[in-house]
Structures are given as structure tokens and as C-alpha cells.
Amino acid sequence: MMLLTLGWSRFWGRTRIRRYVWNHLSVLGDRFEYRGRGRELMIGFVLALLMVGAWGCLMYVVWLYVFHEKPFASFGLFDLFSLSVVLIGFPLAYVGHYAGLRYKLSRTRWRGIRCGMAGSAWRYGAIATFLQFANASTAYLLTPVVSVNLARPRIVNARVGTQDFAFAGRAGDIYGRYIGYYFLNIAAWIAAGIATFAAIGGTLESLGFSPDDFLKLLSRPNLSTVVVVLLIAFGAYLLFGLLILPLRCWWQAYLLRYLVTHSRAGNVLFATALSTWQMWGFLVLNYLILLVTLGIGWPWVMHRTMKLIAGQLWIYGAPQGSTIQQPTDLGPTYGEGLLDMFDVSGV
Amino acid sequence: MAARYYDGVTAEVQEVMLKITSQELVIYRPADSGVVARWPVADLSVLGDSHHEAVPPVAIRGSEARLVVEDLAWRKQLASLVPALKSLALEPVPVAPRLAGFSVAIVALVGIFWSAIEYGTEYAVPLLPYTLQAKLGETVLDELLADKEECQGRAGVTAINRLANDLAREAGYKHEVTVHIVEGGPVNAFTLPGSILVFYSDLIDQARDSSQVAGVLAHEIGHVVHDHPIKGVVRAYGLDLLIKVLSGGYSDILSTFGTGGSALLAMRNGRAFEREADATGVRLLEQRGLRADGVSSFFQQMLDKEPEDAATSAGIWSSHPPTKERIEATKRPATGRPAFSAAEWQALRNVCK
């Protein structure tokens, strides 16, 4: 369908996938429902396209009157548009992320009760942009601050009916683990780099190849060249999987456990014991599936992800159903245009 | 018939029993048989269907209440009693035959799309409005000339444009060709959409004689008359779109492979286009009775200067065929009239002065 419709059927395809996935997930024996529509996603995308089109026209007018045949003539229309997209695209991606989450939640029901998300997507986009910029400027030493302060609005603004969520996390609680990960990660990359160069150089030398010979071989590849390249790629993947990924999982699993265990909804507490090695095994197999199937095996990956979430998320306490009311707010009428525009929506 | 009932007002759940009559669906508590709700059969509907959802809920028009029947046998029974609820009991579609069918369809469609892109461009490109192509070429030219000087020697520019249009008309090309000469290097010339040619003055300065410039010009006219610039753009865009559509944008890996694959295909297209332009350029010169040995001698001169032929070294990654191959393919005797008169050649040599 994607081929026949040049990708436009993706809105309906995504909707069907969500209906399937949501309905196969349940909490306390009650399944989730997804009641979004493909048409809503398409409208959101078309509106985002129009917005980008309008921005493009504005840039054209600016270029025509400010840059064209003026002293800044070397700054072309394409340069101007690209720069503006980078400047506004970065914050807009976060706005789109939050707005997309709000749309998904507004179309999700549990026990017939609509979920939702309050708060401003623009505010979230502004905070996220500022935090990411600050993080990049400080060599990513602010990552715990970013993680906690971006998770907070996403959690506390989410609702199931009139039931809010609360989050009691603080960045200071997780800095110890992050600093350990930060420096160990640097060491791991250095070790991986040395191992890679030594392996490639050593292999080439043992096979009697000079780097020039290898480049010549690449310019006229035969079956053995392809096999060698595949082996090198597999070796690189193995190195990444054994050296870098476990460390990343050591941090990510800890962060996930922290965020989950510091969230609650009324008298319902959440917990997970997802371990580093559980996450590592999960990600390694996912990468392999995507690699071997050239990405087409993503439904399998998604299924595994949902199973992991369902198996590793525990709930303590039962919600008081009578106190959770149906909200009056119906949520946005269309969804995810920006998210789709920046191609980060996935499912 | 047991079910879970959500009233749509609060998140309370009630375990209920169902009784269906010809007029209504009665929902009652099993403990005391107290009626929870009576839903008119005419207003019943299923939200979704069991193809896409494990247990699609039953709802009633105008209410947010839901009924969820987990047991498949009971759902089938309900569906048989109330035709409006038939989508409750659809059997899940077997995966393997569907997967096989989709796989075959995808392979077939990819093959069709590929052929359409590869071969369809031959027929589709002439249908593209020429004004659009010209606009694209002019935009690129503007970007190029933003930080370069164009040579203004009128006689030289007129001479090269005269030959360019003579050769184009010889090929039956309907549009006017415009040649721009840019000061400086590299030693190169190229073609833009909309019959726009760009020559660098270093190429003219380094040419041994006018037949070499005429040969390079004829080669570029070969690109023009075959619409190579716009074909290349359409093919590259078509392949990029095919890969994005195939992967649904979800796969960075497929996109990465696709980018590499697209680059290789672009190189392959480039080599095919260069061979075609070489052959056409030489043919046009011969048809007009002009010296046609210029291209070959120009390539030989370049190869003598740089014996390490970049095109040969790059192999499949090169956008041009190996230079030695091109020299052999375009080798012609030094017979025929000179393409430029002595005055024209002199004017061309001085075009940037």
C-alpha cells in the first residue's frame, strides 16, 4: 500500500498498528483501546506541510529583498532555507514530540475513560531546546538534568480521565551513575577505536594487503570483497555490542528504573526491575533483527518491545475507579503533523 | 454470557452477565440480577474489529459506555444473534499466507517501480514542462555565479553559443542552448537543466587547439539533447522515494543501505550518460563535417598530465568511465573543417580578458 500510494497510506497503516498493539496490552485485566483515525494523522501532516510551505515562502521573500543581488549575494536561497530549518526545526521537533504524545493519549482509552495530556507543547519545545543546547555546550554533563526535566512534564501532564500522574524525581539522585557511565564510555570508545584499527590493520597485513590494495579492491568489488566488507561490518557490530552497548544499557536501564519508580498515579505505584543485561540482550537482538531484515523486521522489534514493557512494568495498588471521571476535554482534532514531518513518529 | 462493563462516566469496572432479546441487550449483575443497563439492539455497534484488535469493545450510540466480552465463543454467539455485531467474531487472519502474499506483491511492485524509474524517465522527462527545467537550471546557475565572475568577452561568448546551437539543431533539439563561461577553474564544463552549459575559462586556456574545445562542447551538447541533467535528478529522486516508501521511514538501516545504493546507481547512471554524450558529441561533429578528434585528444592531454586516472581508480564509485576507454571510443582522424574560425578561436581565447 505504501508503494501504491507513495507513502500516503502510512497514516491508516499506523492507526491499524496502534489499534492492534493497544488492544493487546492490558492493565488489571482491562485492555487499552486506540480510537484515533488515519484521517486525523493525514490532516495533521498536511497542516504541517502547509506550515513548512508558508515558511519557505517567507524565506523566499526575505532572500529576494535582503540577500539577492546584495552584498550578501553568496548567501543563496537554499543556504537561507537550510539555516532557518535548522534553527526552527530543532525546537519544532520537540514541540511535535509533545503534541504527538498528546494526540496519542487523547485517542487512548482504558476502561472506556479517555486519557489526555495537559500542558503546552510550545513550552516543552522551548525548555527542551534550551536544555539540549546547554547540554551540548557542557559536553553532555547535564544529561541527568535534561532527562529528568524533560520526563517531568511528560509524566505530570499525562492523565487517565481526571487522574493525574505525579513524578518525584530529581536530577541529583542519578548523577553518580551518570558520571560513572560518562567516563567509562569515553574509555570504552577509545578501547574500541584502538581494537578496530588494530584488527583492521592486522587483518590487512596478515592477508598481505596494503591500504591502497584494499581501496583498489573496493573500487572493483567481487564476491570475496563483499564477504570481507560484511565480516568487517559484523566485527564492528560485535565490538559495539560487547564494549559500548552494555555501558549504555547500564545507564539507560538505571534511568528507566528511576523514572518509573518515582512516578505514581494517585495511590497506584509503578516499578520495574529491568536490568542492564535484560536491556542489553533485548537491544542486541533488536539490532540484529533490523540488520538482517534491512529494517523490514521492525514489527517484530515493536512486538518484542511491547512484551518487554508489559512483562517488566509492575503496578502496586489499585486505582479507585469511582474517583476517575471521564474528562470533558476531547483532545486535539488532528495529530502528529510535526512528528511525521520530522520522521520521528514510528508507531 | 459474561462480560466486563464500563459505564463511560468513571473508571469503575463491573463484571456482568448478558441476555439478548430481539429488542435489546440486557446487562445485569450476576450477584443480584440487578439490571445495569438495557441497550437497544438497533443502537449497538462494535468499535473496531477482531482483525485488528484482540477483543473489540461493544458500544452503544450516544454513550461512552463499553462492553468487553473476552470469551471468543460468546462473542461469536453474540455476533450470530445481532448482525450489527458481526465484526466481533471475525477470525484472525492467518499470518503466513498473508505475509507470503504481501512479500510477493512487494517484490513485484518494487520491480515495477524500479523499471518505471529506470526506463520510464526516458518517456516521462520530455513531458516535464521545459520552463520548470529552465527555472531549476537558472537557480543553480545563480548559486554558482554568486561567488564567481562570468566572462564578458562578447565575441568569444557569441562564438561558443553559435557552435553550441548549431550542434543542438543538428540533433533536432528544439530549445535554445545558452553557454556561460566562468572565469577560473577547474578544467571542466558541465550541463544544467534548461539547456544551460557552463564552461570554465581554464579549460579554454589549457586546450591545445579549437577542436578540443569544440569536442568538449559537443560532449556537453550530447548531455543536453538527451536531457541527462533532468533525467539524473528524476531517477535519483525516484529511487530515494522508493526506498523511503519501502521502509516506511522506520528503518535507518534500510535508508543507510539505500543511500549507498542510490550513490552507486547514480554513479552507474553517470557513466552511462557520459558514454552516450561522448558518442553523440562525436557523431554531431561528424555530421556537420567538422573535426571530431578534439574530445579524444583532450582526454589524452588530461591523462598525460594526470596518469593516475581518478575514474579508473574509483572503479564502480566513479561517475565517469575510465579515461582510456573514453579515448579509444572517441578516437577519430584529424579530418574535417575546424569548428571555430581563426577569429572565433582568438575571441574565445580572450573571452575573459
Q: pLDDT tens for chain A, 347 residues: list them.
A: 766 676 778 889 889 889 999 999 999 999 999 999 999 988 888 888 888 888 888 888 887 787 766 655 556 666 777 777 777 788 888 988 899 999 999 999 999 999 999 999 999 999 999 999 999 999 999 999 999 999 999 999 999 999 999 999 999 999 999 999 999 999 998 888 888 777 766 666 666 666 666 666 666 777 777 777 777 777 777 777 777 889 999 999 999 999 999 999 999 999 999 999 999 999 888 888 887 787 778 788 888 988 998 899 999 998 989 999 999 877 777 766 666 555 544 45
- A218 Cβ under 8 Å from any chain B Cβ: yes
Q: Which amino acid, residue B223?
A: H
Whose CA is closest to A256, among A239, A231, A275?
A: A275
Best mutation target, A23, A35, A230, to test chain B (most B CBs within 10 A): A23
Per-residue pLDDT of chain B (353 residues; tens, 9 = 90+): 899 999 999 999 999 999 999 899 999 999 999 999 999 999 999 998 777 888 999 999 989 999 999 998 999 999 999 888 988 888 777 888 888 888 888 788 778 877 877 777 777 777 788 888 888 888 888 877 877 889 989 999 999 999 999 999 999 999 999 999 999 888 889 898 899 999 999 999 999 999 999 999 999 999 999 998 888 877 777 777 776 666 655 455 555 555 656 665 565 567 889 999 999 999 999 999 999 999 999 989 888 887 777 666 666 666 778 888 899 999 999 999 999 999 999 999 999 88
Task: Tell me the residue type at A91.
Answer: P
The CA-CA-CA angle for residues A211, A216, A218, to 5°, reads 95
Give the number of residues written for chain B. 353
Chain A closest-CA separation from residue B226 CA (Å): 28
Dihedral angle computed from the Cα positions of residues A276, A278, A281 and A283, in that order, rounded to the nearest 10 degrees: -80
A316, exposed or middle or buried, with CB in 10 Å at 0-12, 13-18, 19+?
A: exposed
Query: Is the Cβ pair A4, B109 closer than 8 Å?
Result: yes
Closest Cα in chain A, distance from residue B9 (Å): 5
Judging contacts by C-beta atoms under 8 Å, the chain A residues touching residue B90 are: none
As a whole number of angstroms, the distance between CA B27 and CA B31 comes to 12
Q: What is the rounded CA–CA span in Å between residue A246 and residue A324?
A: 41
**What ipTM was assigned to the predicted interfaces of this complex?**
0.79
- How high is the pLDDT of residue A184? 94
**Chains A, B: CB contacts under 8 A, how many?**
135
Q: In chain A, positions 161-180, which contact chain B (CB-CB < 8 Å)?
A: 161, 163
Q: What is the pLDDT of residue A345?
A: 45
Q: What is the pLDDT of residue A223?
A: 75
Return the half-sphere exposure (C-beta side, CA atoms, 13 A cut-off) of residue A58: 8
Cα–Cα dist B257/A293, whole Å: 12
* Chain A nearest CA to B4, separation (Å): 9
Contacts of B52 in chain A (CB under 8 A): 16, 19-20, 23
Q: Parallel, antiparallel, or unpaired: how do β-strands A268-271 and A314-316 relate?
A: antiparallel
What is the residue whose three cell numbers read 524517465?
B121
Please give the angle made by the CA atoms of A30, A33 and A34, to the nearest 5 degrees: 160
User: Which cell numbers in the block locate residue A64?
Assistant: 529576494
Distance from C-alpha of A254 to C-alpha of A246, rounded to nearest angstrom: 12
Instruction: Collect all residues with Cβ–Cβ distance below 8 Å to B303 and sequence separation of at least 6.
Output: B309, B323, B324, B327
pLDDT tens digit sequence for A105-147: 999 999 999 999 999 999 999 999 999 999 999 999 999 999 9
Burial B304-330 (b: 16+ CB within 10 A, else e): eeeeebebbebbeebbbbbbebbbeeb
Q: Give me the pLDDT at residue B68, please.
A: 95
Give Cβ neighbours of residue B297 (< 8 Å, ≥ 6 apart).
Answer: B208, B211, B212, B215
Question: What pLDDT does residue A23 have?
Answer: 92
Nearest chain B residue to A71, by CA: B146
| Contact state of A113 with B317 under an 8 Å Cβ cutoff | no
pLDDT at site B265: 59
Q: Does A286 touch chain B (CB under 8 A)?
A: no
Specify the pLDDT at position A165. 96
From chain B, pick out residues whose CB is under 8 angstroms from the CB of A220.
315-316
Enumerate the β-bridge partners of residue B196.
B178, B192
Q: Does A328 touch chain B (CB under 8 A)?
A: no
Mark yes or no for CB contact B11/A324 under 8 Å.
Answer: yes
Measure Cα distances from B285 to B12, B171, B200 in Å. Answer: 87, 10, 21
Q: How far is residue A236 from each of residues A233, A239, A286, A300, B106, measured CA to CA in Å?
A: 5, 5, 16, 24, 31
Cell of B333: 582522424
* Alpha-helical runs (H) found in chain B: 72-81, 95-124, 130-145, 154-170, 201-206, 210-225, 228-247, 252-287, 294-305, 310-314, 323-330, 342-349
* Beta-sheet pairing, B196-200 with B178-182: parallel
Amino acid identity for residue A264 in this structure: R
